[in-house]
């Protein structure tokens, strides 16, 4: 068909040329290109004017682009609405958004238009119908708008959202978050009810987390009651996480002391380390069982608590395994004082396991200088070999120089 049309066009052109009439072929093929070029030029001019903050000039050009009904028409309608809003002509902006939805129901600009509509309505004081929105993001924008302007009206809307099984989990979680941020006793009661699991378990851990973001005596009391009344590992972990968010070291310490579930107990101890709770870790270590003591030593690394690690490592009455673990973790904490402790323990210990643990600590801290010094002074061939093996795989000048020194002997 295309070939036939081209043949027909060329035939007409040749006849008209023979009759002395200029062939119209270029006009036939260039018309669309000229229209597209004009549309693109106007669109670019409009965008430039908008970037310069010249809203009226931008509006005029976007209107011209829209009237061309070309490829840029839907985008021009959106930006027309945008510039009208900037000019304070909000009803006209909403009219442009409505025209975009009507004329271009599949436009890529519809999502942006929905967000703009919420913004325009909020600025103009018009009510935003949350339920009428079809997209989760639109619903959340609308809900945020209502929550900011009229929290008492928004709270029942959130309750319906949370109770609707057709709503996505993402929408429910974000709606719950907005509820938790609301400065309203009623909103706080609903979040606490969900956190207690009285409205099902799907949002319970999220509600617990949100209670932690708003530190208050009431929320702290609620979290403690939830922890004490549940057997769920997930719920207990969520409460500990909420304690971390609210910096409630006392709550985490209580969980670490009283928890019977070893996994949850270990999670509480690790959280104390993340909270830099040195005093609490030391207090806990004094009465902890061996398994918990190992977890406390790990938490000391997170807290940078070298003092307790050194105390355990030096204590001759402590289990050898725990002393060894403390020495190894001292290297992970690092620091000049820590390395001095490791060297001191290495030189004073006769137990090979302890000496090796001290070497491990220095190796972890990449302390080649002290390892070289120990290697040079070590009279035990087996222990010296242990040190050299570590230095051989260390990427430091001191270690490499010492390897060359051994080769040159």
Question: What does the pLDDT look like over 374-400, one tens digit per residue?
Answer: 989 989 999 999 999 999 999 889 889
Question: What does the pLDDT look like over 344-361, one tens digit per residue?
Answer: 888 988 888 888 888 888
pLDDT at 6: 38
Strand pairing partners for 200?
A: 198
pLDDT of 22 above 60: no
Quote the DSSP letter at residue 22: P
Q: Residue 377 half-sphere exposure, CB side, CA atoms within 13 Å?
A: 9
Question: What does the pLDDT look like over 193-242, one tens digit per residue?
Answer: 999 998 878 889 999 999 998 878 889 999 999 999 999 999 999 999 99
Q: Topology of domain 33-126, per CATH?
A: 1.25.40
Helices (H), 233-351: 233-245, 249-258, 262-274, 278-285, 290-303, 306-314, 320-333, 336-348
CA-based nearest residue to 171, from 148, 150, 202, 149: 202
Q: Between the CA of residue 285 and those of 34, 257, 299, 309, 341, what are the distances in Å?
A: 82, 10, 11, 11, 20
pTM of the model: 0.62
Hey, is 198 helix, strand or coil?
strand
Give CA–CA dist 394/137, Å, rounded. Answer: 53
Show me where the domains of the chain are located: 33-126, 318-409
pLDDT of 10 above 60: no
**What are the tokens at 28?**
């036939």
Question: What does the pLDDT look like over 106-121, one tens digit per residue?
Answer: 888 887 787 788 778 7
Higher pLDDT, 148 or 104: 104
Mean predicted lDDT score pLDDT of the chain: 84
Question: What does the pLDDT look like over 309-326, one tens digit per residue?
Answer: 999 988 988 898 998 898
**What are the tokens at 219?**
């929320």
Give CA–CA dist 187/223, Å, rounded. Answer: 16
């Amino acid at each position: 068909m295309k070939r036939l049309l081209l043949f027909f066009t060329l035939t007409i052109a040749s006849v008209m040329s023979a009759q002395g009439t200029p062939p119209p072929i270029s006009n036939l093929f260039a018309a669309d290109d000229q229209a597209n070029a004009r549309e693109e030029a106007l669109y670019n001019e409009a965008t430039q004017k908008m970037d310069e903050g010249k809203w009226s000039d931008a509006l005029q050009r976007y209107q011209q682009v829209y009237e061309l009904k070309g490829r840029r028409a839907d985008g021009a309608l959106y930006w027309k609405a945008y510039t009208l809003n900037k000019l304070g002509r909000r009803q006209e902006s909403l009219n442009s958004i409505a025209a975009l939805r009507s004329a271009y129901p599949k436009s890529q600009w519809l999502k942006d238009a929905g967000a703009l509509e919420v913004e325009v309505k909020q600025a103009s004081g018009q009510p935003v119908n949350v339920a009428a929105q079809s997209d989760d993001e639109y619903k959340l924008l609308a809900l945020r708008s209502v929550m900011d302007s009229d929290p008492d009206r928004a709270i029942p809307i959130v309750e319906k959202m949370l109770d609707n099984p057709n709503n996505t989990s993402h929408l429910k979680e974000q709606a719950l978050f907005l509820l938790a941020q609301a400065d309203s006793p009623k909103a706080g009661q609903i979040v606490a009810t969900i956190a207690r699991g009285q409205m099902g378990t799907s949002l319970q851990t999220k509600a617990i987390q949100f209670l932690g973001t708003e530190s208050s005596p009431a929320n702290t009391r609620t979290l403690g009651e939830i922890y004490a009344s549940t057997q769920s590992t997930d719920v207990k972990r969520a409460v500990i996480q909420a304690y971390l968010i609210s910096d409630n070291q006392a709550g985490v310490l209580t969980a670490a002391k009283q928890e019977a579930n070893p996994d949850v107990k270990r999670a509480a101890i690790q959280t104390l380390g993340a909270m830099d709770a040195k005093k609490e870790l030391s207090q806990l270590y004094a009465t902890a069982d061996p398994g918990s003591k190992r977890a406390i030593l790990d938490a000391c690394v997170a807290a940078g608590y070298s003092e307790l690690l050194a105390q355990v490592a030096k204590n001759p009455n402590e289990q050898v395994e725990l002393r060894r673990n403390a020495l190894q973790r001292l290297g992970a904490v690092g620091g000049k004082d820590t390395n001095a402790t490791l060297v001191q323990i290495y030189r004073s210990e006769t137990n090979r396991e302890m000496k090796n643990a001290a070497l491990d600590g220095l190796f972890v801290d990449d302390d080649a200088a002290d390892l070289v010094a120990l290697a040079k002074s070590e009279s035990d061939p087996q222990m010296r070999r242990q040190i050299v093996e570590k230095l051989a795989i260390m990427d430091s000048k001191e270690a490499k120089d010492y390897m060359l020194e051994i080769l040159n002997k």
